[in-house]
Amino acid sequence: MLSQTIVNGLLLGGIYGLATIGFSMVWGVMGVINLAHGAYIMIGAYIAYVAFERFGIDPFLSIPIAMAILFVIGYGIQRLVVNRILKTGLLLSLALTFGINLILVDLFVLQFTSDLRSVQTGYARSSIEIGSVLVPNVRLAVCALALLLAWGFHQFLARTRAGQAILATALDRETARLMGINPLTVYALTAGAGAALAGAAGSLSSMLFPISPHLGNSFIGAVFVVTVLGGIGSLGGAIAAGFIYGLIQAFASSYLGVSTQEIVAFVFFLAVLVLRPQGLFGKRFFGENT
């Protein structure tokens, strides 16, 4: 049972890590807690659902479609709306992104109703048996692809001019401006990339969780916790904290009951927040830039 619990937690942690990266980077780079991030994950799940149900496209193959659509949405909202209120403080950005989240959720309620939907592929129930441990093929593939996408985003940050501009702006906005970097453009690019990763996480989660317009609400709490645990703006920290969060939920669910998993996770979160405010793997300059 112990081995099975560990496997379940690790496989679940991959999707949490991927879902957190974009949220964490937006918070670290521009100091915005984007409450619409959960809606982006939900939209990614619906894109996978519609592509599968209406066009027969495998959910794994619809990931690039979801990422492209969510990049445009995230970039456009940031460029046209959020950038205009950045200088007004954190409270207004919270209110604005919360309002955007409500609008997006209500639009999907009108289009799809609140009924639960699911993506059921032919291989959904298959698994690999390793001794006494069962490893579901879908969860294994989702976790592996989540890690691959996280690695790809790391390479984007490390090896491209746009990625270096994002890191430079996060480190010191005014110095970056003096070097010819337009912070507003970088903010829009960061928001678009974060939304694209959220779309990928949503597409992957469509094979693991029931889909509804309120799917993002169940994710946003986990994303917030993982961001703080991993350190605001820390990509590697988001992945590591995602695995920790998945393990905590798996152990709490197995040994204390499903109803306790959120309580245990948030108690651990509060302990880390008190003892190490920058998170387990965070770099101080990200927090200081918020």
- Secondary structure (DSSP) of 217-273: HHHHHHHHHHHHHH-TT-HHHHHHHHHHHHHHHHHHHHHT-GGGHHHHHHHHHHHHH
| Residue range 124-134, pLDDT digits in tens | 788 888 878 88
What pLDDT score was predicted for residue 283? 56
Q: Taking 70 as the threshold, does the pLDDT of residue 239 lie above it? A: yes
Give percent of the chain above pLDDT 70: 97
Cβ contact 100:36 at 8 Å: yes
What pLDDT score was predicted for residue 285? 40
Q: Confidence band (pLDDT; 50, 70, 90) for 123? A: confident
**Which two three-digit tokens encode residue 218?**
């169940």
What pLDDT score was predicted for residue 290? 37
Bridge partners, residue 136, by sequence? 127
Q: What is the DSSP letter of 58?
A: -
Amino acid in position 213: P
Q: Taking 60 as the threshold, does the pLDDT of residue 284 lie above it? A: no
Residue with tokens 């948030």: 266
Cβ contact 58:121 at 8 Å: yes
CA distance 146 to 14: 6
Number of structural domains found in the chain: 1
**Which two three-digit tokens encode residue 264?**
């245990």
Q: Confidence band (pLDDT; 50, 70, 90) for 172? A: confident
CA distance 243 to 14: 6
Cβ contact 146:17 at 8 Å: yes
Q: CA Rg, the chain, in Å?
A: 18
Q: Is 133 helix (H, G, I), strand (E, B) or coil?
A: strand
Is beta strand 133-136 parallel, antiparallel or unpaired with respect to 127-130? antiparallel
What pLDDT score was predicted for residue 156? 93
**Residue whose C-alpha is closest to residue 280's, from 290, 272, 289, 288:** 272
| Residue range 186-217, pLDDT digits in tens | 999 999 999 999 999 999 999 989 999 999 98
Across the range 85-99, mean pLDDT stands at 87
Q: Confidence band (pLDDT; 50, 70, 90) for 4? A: confident
Across the range 227-239, mean pLDDT stands at 86
Q: What is the pTM of this model?
A: 0.90
**Residue whose C-alpha is closest to residue 45's, from 155, 203, 231:** 203
Cβ contact 4:63 at 8 Å: no
What pLDDT score was predicted for residue 16? 93
Non-local CB neighbours of 83 within 8 Å, separated by 6+ positions:
184, 187, 188
- Angle, CA of 268, 208 and 138, to the nearest 5°: 110
Enclosing domain of residue 71:
2-288
Q: Taking 70 as the threshold, does the pLDDT of residue 81 lie above it? A: yes
| Residue range 22-56, pLDDT digits in tens | 999 998 888 889 999 999 999 999 999 999 999 99
Average of per-residue pLDDT values in the chain:
88
Residue with tokens 């985003």: 153
Non-local CB neighbours of 91 within 8 Å, separated by 6+ positions:
none
